[in-house]
Structure 1
């Protein structure tokens, strides 16, 4: 399982790379609302002051913890650039490690 915060952080990094790649390109895409639909495991530990944690369930993951339940959540994220009122743009080119 992967922490939900890690998934969002990795998405942010990928989008930042796409925004940088779009600079100076003739063909760009306006980045609109991003919708993520994820299967998450909700885990609550039993000690005092415990937090609820959300884990993204990987395909084929085996859920064996007795205090963990799996839920489907949908997040709608509206990307913005710090200090700008204009929508961000991304390029259509794949990176070196992508096809």
Structure 2
């Protein structure tokens, strides 16, 4: 199993890599809403610093986790570039008159 935060971090890394790889390319793609659907197991740690964690079940872990203990979660993520607040583009620089 892998933590949900790690799944989202890896998705962010893949988007960054696609933006970098698309620099200078003639074809441009604006990244729209991303729908991510995962099966999670929720665990709770007791104690003074108690935590609730969401673990994503991978294909290999399916047989090891009881079906009753998993929940399906669907997230819709709206990616934005931190500096501008705009949707990222998987491409190079803008062309005048382009939408």
Q: TM-score range by the shorter chain?
A: 0.7 to 0.9
Pairwise CA distance, 1:46: 3.1
What is the alpha-carbon root mean square deviation over aligned residues? 1.8
Give secondary structure in 2 for the equivalent of 1:19. helix
- TM-score, normalised with respect to structure 1: 0.79
Are 1:90 and 2:90 an aligned pair? Answer: yes
Kept in 2: contact 1:43–1:69 (CA 8 A)? no
The one-character-per-residue Cα deviations of 1:46-84 (angstroms, maximum 9, x if unpaired) are 3344111000001141126xxx92110011111111222
Equivalent pairs, count: 88
The answer to whether residue 61 in structure 2 is matched with residue 54 in structure 1 is: no
Q: Distance in 1 between matches of 2:87 and 2:12?
A: 15
Flag the 1:86–1:47 CA change in 2: closer, same or farther, 3 A. Answer: closer
Superposition map of 1:26-45 within 5 A: 26-45=26-45
Aligned to 1:3: 3
Q: Which structure's residues are more often helix, by fraction?
A: 2
Distance 1:84 1:43, change over 3 A: same
Q: Which runs of 5+ in 2 are unaligned?
A: 92-99
